[in-house]
Amino acid sequence: MDTDTTPPWAIVPSELADAFRPHVDDLTTEMVAEIQRRVPEYARADPAYGQTLLTAVDICLRHFLDLVADPQSPWQPVEEFYEAIGRGEAGEGRSLDACQTALRVGAWTAWRKLAAHCEREDIPQRTMGLLAEGFFEYIDRIATATAAGHARAMMESADEMARHRRRLLDLILTSSGMSFPAVEELARLARWRLPRTAAVVVFDEHGGPHATLPPEVLTDFARDLPCALIPDPDGPGRRSALGTVLRGRTAVIGPSMPLDGAAKSLGWATETMALVRRRIIRADGLIPAIDHVTTLITFKDEDLVAAVSERRLAPLQEVRPAHREQLARTLLACLQNGFNATEAATRLHVHPQTVRYRLQQLQRLFRDRLDDPNARLELEIVLHAWLARPRESDAKATT
């Protein structure tokens, strides 16, 4: 017989099984007592749980002896039983450590009794060695079945939790308004604490961030525009921590809102991302939508802005294209700084005299419209939109 492929219990003299069977009940009781003494997680006063532990130990011992008596004894029912034990441990919220410790404690308790019996009966050392090897290999196989059940249950639990969290995120972000009782129930199932405020982050690429987001963040990277809901985003250090996680990835964070306004946060973030992709908003990393309110409002009705731009900025068509953008940026800086040449020059990184020279040109082009407050407001809006649009030179630079 090839002992390299044959389990050790198959070459233990079968008569040993009959010799040990009368001691199974006492040995089971002793093993359970030792497990409960050494492993606190199993020291329960619950009689039903104690009976389950007795059953598990009894099945283990009797099946091992069945294999010694007949190596062809079926494995499947016992493996399924111990897989169920592993699943139960996961369901109780316990790690596999306690179960594996209990198996080791029980195995060594059993082996001390078996070895003492062998010595009393003058069983040869070689036979005892085969018995020990077979018994501990059997325990390893039991441990493997338990671990498999535990792992499968944990995976199923994680999948179920992920489903609850995706459904919760969908419910919170629905544009038709959310039902708080439904949100509260899903939050309970998802083990998610309802925050006072929330903000939504949208990502420019599928797959989400390279690093792992905190567990309290709800995510859905399977959406057309992957997103994450950040609870209480204005908490101490939350934004900087999020920026660290998202380093190297372009994302937009919508404004903080009460939880029932998260759909609005998503809307602002989505609109901002659309402008980022068009290079109208030129930024990278974590981009706060609230920093680009002017651009967002301006581009709400692009046809209207384009029509107004064509009329209000018509005087700039009188200058050559190379000089047109310089004058437009100078005019916007002057409008934003109350026509203070020094402050406008600081923003433009030029000499104040350069601003004054350009301003003279602008006054000749626009005449008294620069003195009209309403015209100034319109000019500021349309200049902001016109300058935000990628220029032909920008497109060439990126090709």
**Four-way CATH pick for 8-157: 3.80.10, 1.10.490, 1.25.40, 1.10.3470:** 1.10.490
**Four-way CATH pick for 313-397: 1.20.950, 1.20.140, 2.40.420, 1.10.10:** 1.10.10
pLDDT at 389: 78
Residues 146 and 96 sit within 8 Å (Cβ to Cβ): yes
First to last CA, the chain: 74
User: CA distances (Å), 237 to each of 215, 234, 243, 307, in order?
Assistant: 16, 8, 10, 44
User: CA distances (Å), 297 to each of 308, 381, 390, in order?
Assistant: 15, 9, 18
Mean pLDDT (10-residue bins), the chain, 399 residues:
67 88 91 89 75 90 92 92 89 82 91 89 88 91 92 84 89 73 87 93 74 85 88 84 80 93 94 91 88 87 81 87 89 90 92 92 88 86 83 43
Q: 160-170 burial by CB neighbour count: b if 16+ within 10 A, else e?
A: eeeebbbebbe
Angle (deg, nearest 10), helices 125-173 and 47-69: 130
How many whole angstroms separate alpha carbon 324 and alpha carbon 328?
Answer: 6
pLDDT at 1: 40
State the Cα angle at 229 between 225 and 231, rounded to 5°.
165
Chain CA centroid to CA 397, Å? 37
Task: Break the chain into its structural domains and give their ranges.
Answer: 8-157, 195-298, 313-397
Output the six-digit token pair for 23: 């001691």
pTM above 0.85, yes or no: no
